[in-house]
Amino acid sequence: MRWPEKVKIKEVGPRDGLQNEKKIIPSDTKIGWIDSLSETGLSYIEVTSFVNPKWIPQLADSLEVAKGIRRNPGVTYAALVPNLKGLEGALEANMDEIAVFMSTSESHNQKNINKSIQDTYPVLHETVKLALQEGKKVRGYLSTVFGCPYEGRVSMDQVMTVCDRLFEMGIDELSLGDTIGVANPRQVEEVLENCLKNFKGANFALHFHDTRGMALANILKALEMGFDTFDSALGGLGGCPYAPGASGNVATDDLVHMLEKMGIDTGIEQDKLLKAGSFLQQKMHSRLPSHQMAVYNAAKA
């Protein structure tokens, strides 16, 4: 077996990680944390989401945070947007990349976006079109690819249909989400085999949640199949406000540890990553749930 020599890790903690936190985190804490992440060797950080603050109060300060961070020229700074209104904010903040999102299942799409899948397509299409006209790269997030909290397993035909529609819009990359952490390696293989039959593998990223402790196993299966781009959140932060019981993303620090031990280059300095995690722990007055942060905390005790 030939593993990829290098893997790209996309840090989504400041957006997907924090959006589920109930206690509002001060803007200067978010800015300080993102600035510390920018010095770790990460090449991609999703900073925030320009959504209606009524839906995600934790990210109501999106413009302030996006404008307040210190930009590292080696880092791509991205933001999630639901529509043209959200795109306006992201463009004002001069985000490097825009991300749009939808679900493969009708129920989750209605909960998350308040629209049917068919009604979501034109909204995303005009958002992607304008973002591309403004010279921005665009990625898509596709939720509930491996299972929906309301409908269970989603058909492969449905997954491929939505993938096709998103690529037709002109997105550069599509992140396949295991929103509630139900995927297993055999299912991952099935989904990715279908992706490879219909699209270019290089256009995909994988976004695993670790609800059942399966995220690293699922990433190993994706690596075996040649996929080399993964979303993660430092410390295992995260969850989905519209997926009951969903826990955090796969932890960036655990993922980096595994890959580096396997001899796969991430470009990320683990010591600086753990210090960035320690900074957030101190500000939040709580421990991050990842394995590497637990080891780090024990060593510092």
State the Cα–Cα distance between residues 7 and 229, nearest whole angstrom.
6
Q: Which of these is catalytic: 148, 163, 195, 240?
A: 240
The single-letter DSSP state of residue 226 is T
State the Cα–Cα distance between residues 265 and 145, nearest whole angstrom.
28
Residue 209 β-bridge partners: 249
**Would you call 148 a catalytic residue per the annotation?**
no
Supply 164's token pair.
């096709």
Note the Cα 145 to chain centre separation in Å. Answer: 14
State the Cα–Cα distance between residues 225 and 217, nearest whole angstrom.
13
Supply 142's token pair.
């596709």
Q: Are 80 and 141 in contact (CB under 8 A)?
A: yes
Helix axes 252-261, 215-224, angle to 10 degrees: 50
State the Cα–Cα distance between residues 79 and 56, nearest whole angstrom.
14
Residues noted as catalytic: 240
